[in-house]
């Protein structure tokens, strides 16, 4: 699934290519979306922004095109007449500009929102602080995580209503780097530990905005410490990396049981240190 850094890079690329340009033609390939994407031709893209894992193309006369890429979605840019890299059957929307096309492939969400709908949108209006924002609201994010006590840390950090931008890769990698048990309750961790998780996630996400393959380690060998390395040796202690499904969505969590010792009590709950 695209994470916050991927969507941020997409927004930068789209901003450079289409911001300030008028849409000459809009073609909806998915007929189920016809009613959601009408009235785009003739509008100008006034701004492109990423909000966590959501991408917004703001329009002249108000409103925006809202997309969420889900597991497999992406925006592509093509000079006019250039063959697409994906089959046309995967396309949901094509925006044609003078000499350029922007194509949205297999999005989870794609809709044309009015200004009022944008303000009231249940997902956008409820997003937590964005890790890639110019001024990240650290204390608000920590407070939101603290309010999720009763939730495993590995689930909480991926809840976009608590903090926006972290996906499966960064969840596993950052909790490994911080030596934290992903299955222990948020209550098991101090505010300083939560701040450190967010700071390390933000640092790695910012570092990965250059378009190269996502990495959390440098040097020879694997680019990632634990993600997709189940059964392989830990690159720190050489013990086996484990994987377990977590949360209602059953998302995969990778961790090193030796480097990330359990903070769960014998009854499965977390111990609760003073959060301050």
Instruction: Please pick, among 3, 107, 173, 182, the residue that the annotation labels catalytic.
Output: 3
Looking at the structure, tell me whether residues 17 and 55 fall in a common domain.
yes
Instruction: Please pick, among 2, 107, 129, 182, the residue that the annotation labels catalytic.
Output: 2
Rounded-to-integer distance, Cα 104 and Cα 86, Å: 10
Looking at 87, 120, 153, the residue that finishes a domain is 120
Q: What is the pLDDT along the chain (276 residues), one digit of tens a residue?
A: 566 778 888 898 999 999 999 999 998 887 666 666 668 899 999 999 888 889 999 999 899 999 998 878 999 999 999 999 999 999 999 999 999 999 999 999 998 988 998 888 888 888 899 898 888 999 999 999 999 999 999 999 999 899 988 989 999 999 999 999 999 999 999 999 999 999 999 999 888 887 677 788 876 677 899 999 999 999 999 999 999 999 888 889 999 999 999 987 655 544 444 333
Residue 157 neighbours by CB under 8 Å, 6+ apart: 145, 163, 166, 171, 174, 175, 197, 201
Domain that holds residue 220: 138-255
pTM of the predicted protein model: 0.72
Q: How many CB atoms lie within 10 A of CB 61?
A: 11
Instruction: Please pick, among 15, 179, 251, 264, the residue that the annotation labels catalytic.
Output: 251
Residue 208 lies in a domain: yes
Counting the structural domains of the chain, the total is 2
**What is the bridge-based pairing of β-strands 100-105 and 109-113?**
unpaired
Rounded-to-integer distance, Cα 27 and Cα 57, Å: 16
Catalytic residue list contains 53: yes
Instruction: Please pick, among 53, 144, 202, 229, the residue that the annotation labels catalytic.
Output: 53
Looking at the structure, tell me whether residues 98 and 150 fall in a common domain.
no
Cα 184 from chain centroid (whole Å): 23
Looking at the structure, tell me whether residues 195 and 105 fall in a common domain.
no
């Amino acid at each position: 699934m695209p994470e916050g850094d991927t969507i941020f890079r997409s927004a930068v690329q789209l901003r450079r290519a289409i911001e300030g340009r008028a849409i000459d033609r809009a073609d909806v390939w998915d007929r189920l979306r016809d009613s959601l994407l009408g009235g785009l031709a003739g509008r100008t893209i006034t701004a492109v922004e990423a909000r966590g894992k959501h991408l917004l193309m703001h329009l002249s006369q108000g409103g925006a095109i809202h997309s969420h890429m889900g597991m497999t979605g992406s925006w592509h840019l093509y000079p006019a007449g250039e063959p697409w890299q994906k089959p046309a059957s995967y396309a949901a929307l094509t925006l044609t500009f003078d000499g350029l096309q922007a194509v949205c492939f297999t999005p989870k969400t794609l809709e044309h929102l009015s200004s009022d709908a944008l303000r009231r949108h249940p997902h956008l209006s409820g997003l937590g602080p964005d890790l890639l924002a110019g001024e990240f609201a650290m204390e608000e994010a920590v407070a939101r995580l603290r309010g999720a006590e009763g939730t495993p840390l590995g689930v909480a950090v991926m809840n976009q209503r608590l903090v926006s931008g972290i996906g499966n890769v960064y969840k596993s990698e950052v909790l490994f780097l911080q030596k934290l048990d992903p299955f222990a309750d948020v209550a098991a961790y101090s505010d300083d530990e939560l701040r450190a998780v967010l700071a390390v996630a933000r640092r790695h996400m910012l570092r990965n905005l250059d378009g190269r393959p996502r990495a959390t380690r440098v040097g020879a060998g694997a680019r990632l410490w634990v993600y997709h390395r189940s059964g392989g040796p830990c690159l720190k202690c050489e013990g086996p990396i484990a994987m377990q499904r977590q949360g209602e969505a059953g998302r995969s969590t990778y961790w090193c049981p030796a480097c990330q010792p359990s903070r769960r009590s014998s009854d499965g709950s977390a111990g609760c240190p003073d959060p301050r």
